[in-house]
Chains A and B, each alone.
Chain A
Amino acid sequence: MAQKPPGTDVVTGANQEERDPGTAVMVADSPVNPGLPPEHLRITDLDPKEEKKAERRIAMFFALSIFGSLFAATSYIIFPIIPGDMQSVRLNNMFVGLGASVGLLGVGIGAVHWAKSLMHGHELVEERHPTSGTEEERATAVEMFSQANRESGFTRRSLVRNTLIGALIATPIPAVVLFRDLAPAEDPTVVIKKTMWAAGTRLAQDPSGIPIKASQVTIGSAFQVIPEGLAELEYHRLEEKAKAAVILMRLPINELNESPERESWSYQGIVAYSKICTHVGCPVALYEQQTHHLLCPCHQSQFDVANQCEVIFGPAARALPQLPITIDAEGYLIAQSDFTEPVGPSFWERER
């Protein structure tokens, strides 16, 4: 290609029919286009009275628009917002909005009506040309590039060119590094596995932070639980809550199927499970007391509390992690330890 004079390998775009039609059926004696139909005259073209009428109608829409815009501005003042009064917010919203709507729609309807009924209505024809440039234009473009190539030696001086390409590829490297400090220095795969729960942490009500006594938890009840002290955190309260939120339920002991190693994790039928769905992390907030099912309202994963919160339906893959609990000397429910596995959605390093 380099030996050929520039421009010779350029395909002309001048004649459409020369282009390969592929598998299109070329009908030899296809019917002929009858050409543009005779012009269709509108009533406003024929009747000067109608024309005058249309003119007045259009002006009326524009006048209505002016009225609407002024009405909106007036409503802004005569329908003020009274603090605490929802009705005043609604009225302000509605009247300012309706006024502005009339202002906008008036212009729109008027302009379109003008175009359709009064402006010159004939269809005009414009020729298309092939999208590619003419042969000369393309030859000139090719020649410009070849000239630039000759003058710079871009292809001849391959050492210079290749090092330039290498240098350009390397320039964004600092930018990649710069983004590391978008987040703090800790290793997220470590912090993500820990929550605020520790041996002896009292279970407290969400959001008040009041510790819960085992005697308060009647059979069939459910509590939204946070670790004691979370509500008073000054920093990272939501981050801790996003991992440590727990749902506490009490089932009749005979309905609770616990594996032998977890028998000591509950207290008289009171069980505590992570509230963070193992699917993508929504709070598993809906507890169906009769069936002992927990339902995630985001993607409808269902967990069976009676069977260690195994998944019984939906996209979640794993059971909700259980928080081992017991009571302290004063009868308050406390955690025996942190969760024994990471809470929330699955991630790559989960088993590490």
Chain B
Amino acid sequence: MTNTLDNTKSDVGRGMRFTGWAANYVDERTSASTAVKALGRKIFPDHWSFMLGEIALYSFIVLLISGTFLTFFYDPSMTEIEYEGSYLPLKGIEMSVAYATSLDISFDIRGGLLMRQVHHWSALLFVAAIGLHMLRVFFTGAFRKPRELNWIVGFLLFILAMALGFTGYSLPDDLLSGNGLRIIDGMIKSFPVVGVWFSYLFFGGEFPGTEVIPRLYVLHIMLLPAILIATLAIHMVLLVVNKHTQFAGPGRTNDNVVGSPVLPVFAAKAGGFFFLVFGVIMLIASLFTINPIWNYGPYDPSPVSAGTQPDWYIGFADGALRLIPPGLEFVAFGFTWPINILLPTVILGVFIVLVALYPFFEAWVTGDKREHHIADRPRNAPTRTAIGAAGVTFYAVLWAAASSDLLATHFALSIEGVIGTLQALFFLAPVAAYIITKRTCLALQRKDREIVLHGYESGRIVRLPGGEYIEVHEQLSDYERWKLLDYTEYQPLTVRPNDKGRITVGTRVRAGLSRWFFEDRVLPIDTKELEDASKH
């Protein structure tokens, strides 16, 4: 390397000479050139949906930057003091140091409010981007082999992001976040056997105590971010190892990646995109208020304001609590079983675990052991897409339920009517979403098939010499057609006895599931069909 640098010395400027010297200096001490060789021209495919994960990553970096700024001024103590800051309506009011310093950040430190709003907005964006990124991965089947483990890693990131969001939400110790903690306390206390003890240890005594904010602070600024960064590193390493998926297209196969190299194009686009994400968050934070803690006042267990809402990503859990019908509690063996709180917790837990395990479930049903690097178009996997749509709808119903009171007041409905409707939708809407989505996917597949074989309607009507009118169909180019042709179709598994001549229960279940998945399907097109179609 030294030689090449020396040889080119004569025809480069001073800046280049310095860069060369510096690169040489670093490489001789770190072997950095190996890493550059491995990663410098790595290819990343392009698609707008691939940027959702990037948004999540970049908003996390923004969170680290803005959060670090906030730690310089925030003090997590729950010691009661009299507020002496410059926000007049609260002057002289008893409050915790945590709340007082949060007010100081907002009203006495220049740019402090801006950083608080940047932090809160980017937290909301972070969880939203992770959620959308997960949906993209789900609906394109990008979780299939060899990426099942990275799905799990990403899933952990989602859980960590929500945990970080919740611990951070509680830190200002205002009335709203304090009520949030109180709800968590109520949920913890409902756990059989350990509930009260767990709550007691968590709060360092009875709720609210003087310990919980410092403890949440340690979790929020040290433990959880450290775990998240480590998990994120694994996520990125696996991304590099597995290489990114790509959508079907001419020249794109399961054995290659087509796109831009890291240096320079991808680096410029991704680096620029970081600044765009940061810039948009900054713009929102400078123009739109988020979480005006000064309006809520310090935490006090007695008052509460109507229309309280958690941050959006906790909404589905809050909604589940609201939808439970009354009276679900009983006493057995002398112990209390608060099913009205346990059941939502269990339902959410099961839902989340199902999301985490779906890749393994689908792999078992298809029995497909090959690697998949071509992302599916959602329509080409109708059952998976329908399951996803049902899941999204289920989540959406719970989410809407978290705003049941606001739905009632804004649309002048009765709260009983809103809750009753949502309770019905809880069961019906996912089923409806499943059926509609599956049928839509199959219809779209048939349309694709039609377009591939007979072209698309050009809108040009021609009269033939015999007086007959026809609409001319235009054929797709080979390149366009390939995008519609390149996908995997599965057929239902037929039940066959194994080596010992037995049909196991497992085989039966698998065959049943396979029928559910693939009984309705649109056949893939072969060359003969394509040639026959092009003849007329």
Alpha-carbon distance between A300 and B514 when the two chains are bound, in angstroms: 43
Q: Which of B269, B318, B340, B491 is the one whose CB lies under 8 Å from A111?
A: B269
B92 within 8 A of A: no
Alpha-carbon distance between A207 and B94 when the two chains are bound, in angstroms: 11
Q: Which of A23, A243, A300, A352 is the one whose CB lies under 8 Å from B367?
A: A23
Q: Would you call A110 and B272 a contact (CB within 8 A)?
A: yes
Q: Would you call B183 and A239 a contact (CB within 8 A)?
A: no
For A126, the chain B residues whose CB sits under 8 A away are 42-43, 243, 256-258
Q: Would you call B282 and A22 a contact (CB within 8 A)?
A: no
Most buried by A among B80, B88, B207, B259: B207
Cβ of A8 to closest chain B Cβ, rounded Å: 20
Q: Which of A108, A120, A191 is the one whose CB lies under 8 Å from B275?
A: A108
Type the 1/0 row for B246-275, where 1 means its CB is closer than 8 Å to any CB of A: 000011111111111100110011011111
For B259, the chain A residues whose CB sits under 8 A away are 123-124
B302 (CB) vs chain A CBs: closest residue: A245
Q: Would you call A23 and B283 a contact (CB within 8 A)?
A: no
For B323, the chain A residues whose CB sits under 8 A away are 315
Interface residues of B, count at CB 8 A: 138
A-B pairs with CB below 8 Å: how many? 385
A37 within 8 A of B: yes
Q: Would you call B491 and A25 a contact (CB within 8 A)?
A: yes
B242 (CB) vs chain A CBs: closest residue: A131
The 8 sampled A-B contact pairs (Cβ below 8 Å) are A22-B367, A34-B478, A84-B87, A97-B283, A98-B287, A107-B272, A112-B273, A348-B191
Q: Would you call B526 and A27 a contact (CB within 8 A)?
A: yes
Query: Looking at the complex, which of A177-185, A209-217, A257-265 is the stretch in contact with chain B?
Result: A177-185
Alpha-carbon distance between A109 and B86 when the two chains are bound, in angstroms: 39
Cβ of B139 to closest chain A Cβ, rounded Å: 19
- Which residues of chain B from 152 to 176 have any CB-CB distance to chain A below 8 Å in the complex? none
Type the 1/0 row for B87-108, where 1 means its CB is closer than 8 Å to any CB of A: 1100000000000000000111
Cβ of B188 to closest chain A Cβ, rounded Å: 9
Cβ of A332 to closest chain B Cβ, rounded Å: 20
Cβ of B485 to closest chain A Cβ, rounded Å: 5
Cβ of A303 to closest chain B Cβ, rounded Å: 11
Q: Would you call B278 and A115 a contact (CB within 8 A)?
A: no
B322 (CB) vs chain A CBs: closest residue: A299
Alpha-carbon distance between A2 and B286 when the two chains are bound, in angstroms: 66
Q: Would you call A36 and B250 a contact (CB within 8 A)?
A: yes
- Which residues of chain A from 189 to 207 have any CB-CB distance to chain B below 8 Å in the complex? 189, 191-192, 206-207
For A229, the chain B residues whose CB sits under 8 A away are none
B268 (CB) vs chain A CBs: closest residue: A115
Type the 1/0 row for B474-509, where 1 means its CB is closer than 8 Å to any CB of A: 000011011001101111110000000000000000
Query: Looking at the complex, which of A48-56, A158-166, A278-286 is the stretch in contact with chain B?
Result: A278-286
A306 within 8 A of B: no
Query: Looking at the complex, which of A87-95, A143-151, A248-256 is the stretch in contact with chain B?
Result: A87-95
For A108, the chain B residues whose CB sits under 8 A away are 272-279
Q: Which of B185, B189, B308, B329 is the one whose CB lies under 8 Å from A297?
A: B308
Q: Would you call A22 and B369 a contact (CB within 8 A)?
A: yes
Q: Would you call B256 and A84 a contact (CB within 8 A)?
A: no
A305 within 8 A of B: no
Cβ of A103 to closest chain B Cβ, rounded Å: 8
Q: Would you call A124 and B524 a contact (CB within 8 A)?
A: no
Q: Which of A25, A84, A94, A317 is the one whose CB lies under 8 Å from B326?
A: A317
Known: A36-B251, A183-B200. 16 other contacts (CB 8 A): A16-B255, A21-B368, A23-B518, A29-B526, A101-B283, A107-B275, A107-B279, A112-B273, A115-B265, A182-B204, A285-B302, A313-B416, A315-B323, A345-B338, A346-B189, A347-B196
For B42, the chain A residues whose CB sits under 8 A away are 126
For B479, the chain A residues whose CB sits under 8 A away are 34, 37
A349 within 8 A of B: yes
B6 within 8 A of A: no
Alpha-carbon distance between A349 and B337 when the two chains are bound, in angstroms: 10
Q: Would you call A128 and B334 a contact (CB within 8 A)?
A: no
- Which residues of chain B from 194 to 224 have any CB-CB distance to chain A below 8 Å in the complex? 194-197, 199-209, 211
For B110, the chain A residues whose CB sits under 8 A away are 76, 80-81, 92, 96
* Partner-B contacts on A (CB < 8 A): 16-17, 19-25, 27-37, 76, 80-81, 83-84, 89, 92-98, 100-105, 107-116, 119-121, 123-128, 130-131, 179-180, 182-184, 188-189, 191-192, 206-207, 224, 226, 236-239, 241-243, 245, 275-276, 279-283, 285-286, 297-301, 311, 313-318, 344-352
Query: Looking at the complex, which of B111-119, B347-355, B391-399 is the stretch in contact with chain A?
Result: B111-119
Cβ of B195 to closest chain A Cβ, rounded Å: 5
B57 within 8 A of A: no
Alpha-carbon distance between A279 and B339 when the two chains are bound, in angstroms: 11
Cβ of B376 to closest chain A Cβ, rounded Å: 12
Cβ of B186 to closest chain A Cβ, rounded Å: 3
Known A23-B518, A30-B524, A108-B272; judge A128-B243 contact (CB<8 A).
yes
B331 within 8 A of A: yes
B473 within 8 A of A: no
A239 (CB) vs chain B CBs: closest residue: B206
B459 within 8 A of A: no
For A275, the chain B residues whose CB sits under 8 A away are 302
Q: Would you call A298 and B527 a contact (CB within 8 A)?
A: no
B535 within 8 A of A: no
Alpha-carbon distance between A320 and B8 when the two chains are bound, in angstroms: 85
B72 within 8 A of A: no
Alpha-carbon distance between A109 and B306 when the two chains are bound, in angstroms: 43
Q: Would you call A347 and B336 a contact (CB within 8 A)?
A: yes
A246 (CB) vs chain B CBs: closest residue: B302
Alpha-carbon distance between A17 and B369 when the two chains are bound, in angstroms: 10
Type the 1/0 row for B292-325, where 1 means its CB is closer than 8 Å to any CB of A: 0000000111111111100000000010011111
